[in-house]
Amino acid sequence: MARIVVLGSVARDEVIRLDHRLREGAHLQGAPPLARLGGGGANTAIALTHAGHEVSLVAAVGTDPLADELLAELARHGVDIGPVTRISGPSTHSLVLLDPEGERTIVNLTRARESRPPRRLLDLAADCVYVRSNGQVLEDLLREKAALCPIIAQIRPLEDGLLPAQVLVGSHGDLDADLLSNPLEAGRQLAGDILRWVVITHGEEGAEAFGVDGRRLRATAPDVEVVDTTGAGDAFAAGLAHALALGLDMERALPLAVGWGAAKVTRPGSFLDRETVREILKSAPGPRL
């Protein structure tokens, strides 16, 4: 069992299943909204608790009744909600539009976001930290934490500030052509000298990892039936954090993370359920919890 800290968001998702794919000017039919727990931080943290890790979530919720509901749900899944703070105003609330192929479009209605870097991160013991956050200048905070444990961070635009981390992760569809043409150079600009790997996910095609030592690894995704792509990237990140926190090298961690992401798209919901994670752990090589 590892101690993992996740820095990210918590949300109430209102999921609407559409009868056709989104297209400009279309008039679509949708099923009545289904409310469920979501947010990148929550999705990743819950999957990791289902794998048996001690997981603390650094996040913000509002001061509305929805905040109490979100915190109660997180606690039921075993996530340590002690580092979650309340800020004045509404909690994060989003619409998730799912087309018949399981592809999702997210519309944020309200956001609960801290205005300052969450310094409480430094007080949390961790074997690994996963960062899925934007809108804050985290450079100094992460540089301090990176001296204590490995950090995995989602890539974000350089203008949002530097992102000291040993591993950077990004989705091919979210990254610009300049970064994709030279992931390591772009990664060094973001993460600095502590960078070890840049990982790029390619959806149904799997993922690749670029090492500062010159290695380039590729892991293909299994052919699965897609039900709901919501949270697939969060499940991938959870699998990567799980593997690296347990001491696996990237050659073994990358295919394991791809397996977690592929498993997620076969299931409804925003995060991997406990039974699915147990099935993954039974079949995956490496340390057992």
**Using one digit for the tens of pLDDT, what is the confidence trace for 225-280?**
988 888 999 999 999 999 999 999 999 999 999 999 999 999 988 999 999 999 99
Q: What is the pLDDT of residue 28?
A: 84
pLDDT score of 132 more than 80: yes
Nearest to 69 by CA among 41, 26, 37: 37
Q: Is the pLDDT higher at 27 or at 182?
A: 182
Tally Cβ neighbours within 10 Å of residue 183.
21
Q: What is the pLDDT of residue 22?
A: 84
Q: What are phi and psi of 239, to 5 degrees?
A: -65, -40
Q: What's the chain's average pLDDT? A: 92
Q: Is the pLDDT higher at 32 or at 146?
A: 146
Whether 24 maps to a domain, the answer reads no
Assess contact for 219 and 207: CB atoms under 8 A: yes
Whether 27 maps to a domain, the answer reads no
CATH number where 234 lies: 3.40.1190.20
pLDDT confidence band for 288 (50 / 70 / 90): very low
Mean pLDDT of 201-209: 95
pLDDT score of 51 more than 50: yes
Q: What is the pLDDT of residue 289?
A: 39
Q: Mind listing the pLDDT tens digit for each residue in 144-182?
A: 999 999 999 999 866 677 899 999 999 998 898 888 999
pLDDT score of 223 more than 60: yes
Q: What is the pLDDT of residue 104?
A: 79
Q: What is the pLDDT of residue 187?
A: 94
Mean pLDDT of 87-113: 89
Q: Is the pLDDT higher at 26 or at 35?
A: 35
Contacts with 24 (C-beta within 8 Å, 6 or more apart), sequence order:
none
Whether 221 maps to a domain, the answer reads yes
Share of the chain above pLDDT 90, in %: 75
Whether 18 maps to a domain, the answer reads no
The answer to whether the predicted template modeling score (pTM) of the entire model surpasses 0.85 is: yes
Whether 15 maps to a domain, the answer reads no
Q: What is the pLDDT of residue 26?
A: 80
> Cα dihedral angle (248, 249, 252, 254), rounded to 10 degrees?
110
Mean pLDDT of 23-37: 86
Whether 181 maps to a domain, the answer reads yes
Query: CA 27: distance to chain centroid?
Result: 32
Q: How many domains does the chain have?
A: 1
pLDDT score of 285 more than 70: no
Q: How far apart are CA 74 and CA 227, in angstroms?
A: 24
CA distances (Å), origin 233, targets 199, 228, 241, 262 = 12, 12, 12, 10
Q: What is the pLDDT of residue 55?
A: 98
Range of the structural domain that residue 71 is part of: 3-9+40-90+113-283
Q: How far apart are CA 74 and CA 184, in angstroms?
A: 36
